[in-house]
Copies of this chain bind each other. A is one copy, B any other.
Amino acid sequence: MAGVNKPDPARRSERSRQAILQAARELVSEVGYAKVSIEAIAARAGVGKQTIYRWWRSKGAVVFDSFLALSEGGDASDGDGGSVVLPDTGDIEADLKTVMRATVAEFADPGFEAPIRALNLEIVNDPELAAQYRDKLAAPVDEAKKARLRSAQRAGQIAADADLDLALELLYAPLYQRWLLRSGPLTPQYADALVDLALKALRP
């Protein structure tokens, strides 16, 4: 009856992984990325250092996965963020408003925004970390967003010759700046107004 005991190690293993990811996020929020150590993450998660090194090669790797798991709500230990898919109802305006309202809600949530703010501080300060962030966290999400914009191009809802990198900046940078500098309210109405204006620029 080998099956009787097998689920337990797997469940324990997953609990450890989740505890490590949560500890990493909490510590980055509390003391900043620079002061977080693998030792501190292990201590807070209640695991040994070797358990962390079994899954991640560095502090940077575990911290990035902890944020990736948070922002996508999924398992990202392989670091490819492969499961990011945006809604596609066939209506780009409706889908972008759904996504942007969700993004606004995330940034208005202190439990989500505090660790992301801590991560952004480190990224702004450290070009090497910024490059890692782009490759491991931002690029897969941007690709998913661009896939949705390409689908809208095929549907004739966005200009065929639109620069999709610039289109993403037009949609997301105002929200990012408003959140980062706390320069205005983040509301569903703001998300809608931003989508309306950006789409006016992007329509055929």
Contacts and interface: CB of A to CB of B under 8 A. Distances in A.
Interface of A: 117, 120-121, 123-125, 127, 130-131, 133-134, 138, 163, 165-167, 169-170, 172-174, 176-178, 180-184, 193-194, 197-198, 200-202
A65 to B, nearest CB: 20
Contacts of A174: 166, 169-170, 173-174
B121 A124 contact: yes
Given A124-B181, A138-B181, A173-B178, 20 more contacts: A120-B124, A121-B121, A121-B125, A123-B181, A124-B124, A130-B181, A130-B182, A131-B182, A134-B183, A163-B193, A165-B184, A166-B174, A166-B197, A169-B173, A169-B174, A169-B177, A172-B177, A174-B174, A180-B180, A201-B201
A103 to B, nearest CB: 14
Nearest to A168: B174
Copies of this chain in the oligomer: 2
A201 B127 CA distance: 33
Nearest to A180: B124
A124 B117 CA distance: 8
Given A170-B197, A174-B169, A183 B124 contact: no
A196 to B, nearest CB: 9
A181 B117 contact: no
Nearest to A172: B177
Nearest to A139: B183
A197 B198 CA distance: 9
A133 B177 CA distance: 14
Contacts of A197: 163, 166-167, 170, 201-202
Contact of A182 (B127, B172, B180, B200): B127
